[in-house]
Structure 1
Amino acid sequence: MRRYNILFLLLILLSSSCEKKQTSDPLKIALSSKNPLIKRVMDSLDQYEIQIRYTQIDRGNDSLLFTDFDFQVDKNNYYYPASTVKFPAAVAALEKINETDSLTVDTKFYIEGDSIETTFSKAVSEIFAVSDNAANNRLIEFLGQDDLNKRIQRKGIGPIRIAHRLSTTNADDVTTKPLVIYLNDSTTASSRSIINTYPKPLVLEKIKKGRGFYADDILQDEEFDFSLKNYYPIETQHNLLKHIIFPEAFPVEERLNLSKPQHELLLNSMHTLPKDLGYDDEEYYDSYVKFLMFGDSTDPIPEHIKIYNKVGYAYGTLTDCAYIKDVKNNIDFMVTATILVNKDGIFNDNIYEYDEVGIPFLAQLGREIYNLELKRHR
């Protein structure tokens, strides 16, 4: 009888251990919240196609420890990255500037055929402050798609395929337009056009979505094919963020070739709020491009919380890749999350549940994780 009692106790202990292990994933705890902003998405997972990576950050003995937690993250399951691709464009452009003796971030230029003069530093700032499409496209003309992709891939950051510009008539052109660069106040020089390779169709799961789409105002009764669109999966987004926020955590050969001033420009741009760059704070409120934690509110973000991030939203897909730091409570963490909100399954009809479902979900997800971080023992 005693033998069976011991065996019974062992089974209880094993069961308790398994249960503890099962519930020790903080991301699963956050997603099991009874809050309706989370629950309505979790109750219809197939519809929303969410992917999430959350990283806990621990420090000790001058070292960093990253602990990643994933939910449905799969680089083979396609989602449209939208404006998040502006982050690698900014990084790659700064690298190229650093390798070109005649250029600095303050060099003034314009695209041939365009009348807007700008600088590289201004383009980078606009990309993060208000997700400016034109600023991103100017950097694509400067880089070319092939060079952008190679710069991210060669550091082992992950797969990426930037194939097109954003919201412009020449979006798919593989030949870039020349830049007219000011060498000084009165002297200019033109760069050469860059001929890039034609993109091959992506072969991925969920590359075709929905049940129809509009083209030239005519409803097409078939799935929308994303195979020639940009590809920038969660793993790559999150890894690039780690490389930028914590370059010292990587071997020298894996670090991006950015000077200290360039790195500071990038970090400042990533967390600077629109109002700090002179944008109207009613139209461009603090959380205008910061979905996690604060996206469903137009109230000012508390000063002690700094968010370094890049969002994207288009074709019903919302994504935020963010490093969040609370300087008052001395906590920091990283989250990259995406969600598809297209209930009617029709693309290009401009009927997406961004404000009703997507942004509230991401905001509450950020708050759930933040509250877990406040309680976490370090």
Structure 2
Amino acid sequence: MIKKVMDSVDQYEVQIRYTQIDRKNETIRFTDFDFQVDKNNYFYPASTVKFPAAVAALEKLNEIDSLTMDTQFYIEGDSVETTCAKAISEIFAVSDNAANNRLVEFLGQDDLNHRMQSRGVVPIQINHRLSTPNADEVTTKPLIIYLNDSTTVASAPIINTYPNPIELNKTLKGNGFYADDLLHLDPFDFSLKNYFPIEAQHALLKRIIFPETFPKEQRFNLSQAQHKFLLKAMHALPKDLGYDSEIYYDSYVKFLMFGDSSEPMPEDIKVYNKVGYAYGTITDCAYIHDEKNNIDFMVTATILVNKDGIFNDNAYEYDEIGIPFLAQLGRELYNFELNRKR
């Protein structure tokens, strides 16, 4: 599958960053290897933007004395009661869109972007929620927060700045798209969509997995309990949260190494990751740790699989090309790491 993709690499818009991790005494050294990584070549990040939303929400909670990860709330107009902890678990276990959108209502787009940018997770521009009407509404909905069993308080709506169009290469893609059941024979315009390139995804992953390797101003303000919870959520499998393993098998959202199989994943390999797939673009940002063989590495990779060049037609080659490519890429890097001299 890798050869097939590499033979038509421009068509697939592949970008890959792979990081070797070496330890000497108490120090950790990263060595990055890039293939076609370019923040100026746009790809749609899809659900990978849920990762920064989860991190930013945890950090914001630390600034509000009356709230914790386990404080119950619901969004005005929404009947689902939840907590930030539950939403974050759902985001990583099955990539739940509604859970992400609730965190965006809590944060607002401006605050989410600022928190990432101030820690060196750049470039990033989160403009909209996911798979919901009025996704790009700049004013957030109030949260109805339970202070105790009988007392609630409503948060104030947050008014965010209207996003500027992204001026990058490849924001116009394909040769047609469907809108309101009509086929438009023009490229699909991504210039007002979310922007979260490989460099930024990888930067966030490093700061969460190895915060101690960064200066204090580039670390997120998470408590020890929050950090432990986040790491656990990132590698948890759907069955760990009670999802039906027939539908939500172990590798349901673990594409690198295991995505092309619905068999149980080995217990000694933990994958801390966030995937995204939409509009024919499939991405995985992962830290892979084999506890038995004592190897670990990071890889963030994206591929576009839209052979007919039409967007919104639900005719994408995720299962035929995208996921098998990422799975094989992960295995090739894993086997290389197994034999790499340290």
Q: Which has the higher helix share?
A: 1
Q: Does 1:66 align with 2:30?
A: yes
Aligned partners of 2:209, 2:136: CA distance in 1, in Å? 32
Partner of 2:200: 236
Contact residue 20 and residue 297 of structure 2 kept, 8 A: yes
**TM-superposition CA deviations, 1:351-377 (whole Å, max 9, x none):** 000000000000000000000000000
Q: What are the superposed Cα offsets for residues 211-259 of structure 1, whole Å, 9 maximum, x if unpaired?
A: 0000000000000000000000000000100000000000111111100
1:20-70 CA-partner distances (Å, limit 9, x unpaired): xxxxxxxxxxxxxxxxx1110000011100000000000012000000000
Partner of 2:109: 145
Aligned-partner Cα distance in 1 for 2:127–2:44: 12
Match of residue 350 from structure 1: 314
Alignment partner of 1:225 is 2:183 = no
Please say if 1:268 is aligned against 2:201. no
Structure 2 residues without counterparts, runs of 5 or longer: none
Residues matched between the structures, number: 342
Shift of 1:172: 1.0
Partner of 1:283: 247
CA distance in 2, matches of 1:144, 1:173: 10
SS in 2 for 1:118: coil
Distance in 2, matches of 1:239 and 1:229, equals 21
Give CA deviations for 1:241-284 in whole Å, capped at 9, x if unaligned.
Answer: 00000000001111111001110111000000000100000100
Structure 1 unaligned segments of length 5 or more: list them. Answer: 1-36
TM-score by length of structure 1 reads 0.90
Q: CA deviation at 1:100?
A: 0.7
Alpha-carbon distance in 2 for matches of 1:53, 1:289: 19
1:316 aligns with 2:280: yes
2:51 is the alignment partner of 1:87: yes
Q: Are 1:117 and 2:117 counterparts?
A: no
Separation in 2 of the partners of 1:163 and 1:253? 25
User: Highest CA radius of gyration, 1 or 2?
Assistant: 1
SS of residue paired to 2:105: helix
In the aligned structure 1, how far is the partner of 2:138 from the partner of 2:300? 30
Distance 1:156 1:271 in 2: 24
Runs of 4 or more off by more than 6 Å in structure 1? Answer: none
Query: How far, CA to CA, are the matches of 1:145 and 1:157 in structure 2?
Result: 15
CA RMSD of aligned residues (A): 0.4
**1:338 maps to what in 2?**
302
1:162-311 to 2 correspondences below 5 Å: 162-311=126-275
How far apart are 1:202 and its partner, in Å? 0.5
Matched residue, 2:6: 42
Task: Answer whether contact 2:120 2:203 (CA < 8 A) is retained.
Answer: no
Secondary structure in 2 matching 1:114 = coil
1:365 maps onto 2:329 in alignment: yes
- Give the share of equivalent positions with the same residue, in percent: 77
Q: Which residue of 2 aligns with 1:22?
A: none
Query: Could you tell me how far 1:90 is from its partner in structure 2?
Result: 0.3
| Superposition deviation, residue 170 in structure 1 | 2.2
Distance 1:360 1:113 in 2: 40
**Counterparts of 2:167 and 2:53 in 1: how far apart (Å)?**
23
The whole-number CA distance in structure 2 between the counterparts of 1:248 and 1:157 is 16
Alignment of structure 1 residues 93-112 onto 2, 5 Å: 93-112=57-76
TM-score when scaled to structure 2? 1.00
